[in-house]
Amino acid sequence: MLRLRPHPLLDLQAFVARLPRPLAEVRSPASLLAGLALDAAAPMASSDAVRAAVRDLLRHGGFRPTGRSKPSSEYLLRAVGEGKLGAINLVVDACNVVSLHSGLPISVVDLDRARPPLEVALAAPQSRYVFNASGQEIDVSRLLCLHDAEGPCACPVKDAQRTKTGEATTRALALVWGSVALPGRAAEAARWYRDLLEASGATTEDAAIAAADPDGSAV
């Protein structure tokens, strides 16, 4: 179960993907990788209005989504434009295609690396985590984050290294960070993401989400 603290702007879509084999044995088809281009045919397209709504979502609580802390969807736009984004693995590649064209940040975590209970809430002040294999850290204070028993582990900017998908991943949790200012967009992005994974043999199901009181207890 995923607990969700009250948030006036968040339209969260979450699902679980189960792979037929470990990720190292599952290839991203060429048709999917072709979507990692700005001019690729896609059922969704980002815009300045989408980018503004996403930044407003991240600002709620006091976080500043600028510079190196900009939304991951904006990072993808720049990386693809500069030719710096390549294939990683099926789950991440499909995530990147959908995030690039929908304009919405998407997090993906390995469910076997995350430790329950899982909760989406604003991170406490002075919250940080390592986000890459080089040991670099991001300050996620006052930012919407997925938390597990060890603390924040994913957010709309960068996901934690300790819960990222890898060669042995067989179960992944995907979180589409949508905004109520963009009605239906997060659901459309999640459906497209699931379709891409299912076309490569994965099965998907809705994640069970329970509203939580401000103190964190499920209701």
DSSP states along 74-121: HHHHHHHHTT------HHHHHHHHHHHHH---EEEEETTTS-S-EEEE
Question: Residue 218: pLDDT band by 50, 70, 90 thresholds?
Answer: very low
Over the stretch 132-152, which tens digit does the pLDDT of each residue have? 999 999 999 999 999 999 999
Question: Residue 213: pLDDT band by 50, 70, 90 thresholds?
Answer: confident
pLDDT at 216: 54
Over the stretch 149-199, which tens digit does the pLDDT of each residue have? 999 999 999 999 999 999 999 999 999 999 999 999 999 999 999 999 999
Residue 214 scores a pLDDT above 70: no
The pLDDT mean for the chain works out to 95
Say if residues 148 and 116 touch (Cβ distance below 8 Å).
Answer: yes
Residue 15 scores a pLDDT above 50: yes
Distance of CA 61 to the CA centre of its chain: 19
- Helix (H) / strand (E) containing 138: strand 137-139
Distance of CA 29 to the CA centre of its chain: 21
Please confirm whether the linkage preceding 117 is cis (ω < 30° from 0). Answer: yes
The whole-angstrom separation of Cα 77 and Cα 1 is 32
Domains in the chain: ranges and CATH: 2-211 (3.50.40.10)
- The alpha-helical segments, DSSP class H, found in the chain are 30-33, 48-59, 72-81, 90-102, 185-199
Residue 69 per-residue DSSP state: G
Say if residues 183 and 86 touch (Cβ distance below 8 Å).
Answer: no
Residue 215 scores a pLDDT above 70: no
Residue 32 scores a pLDDT above 70: yes
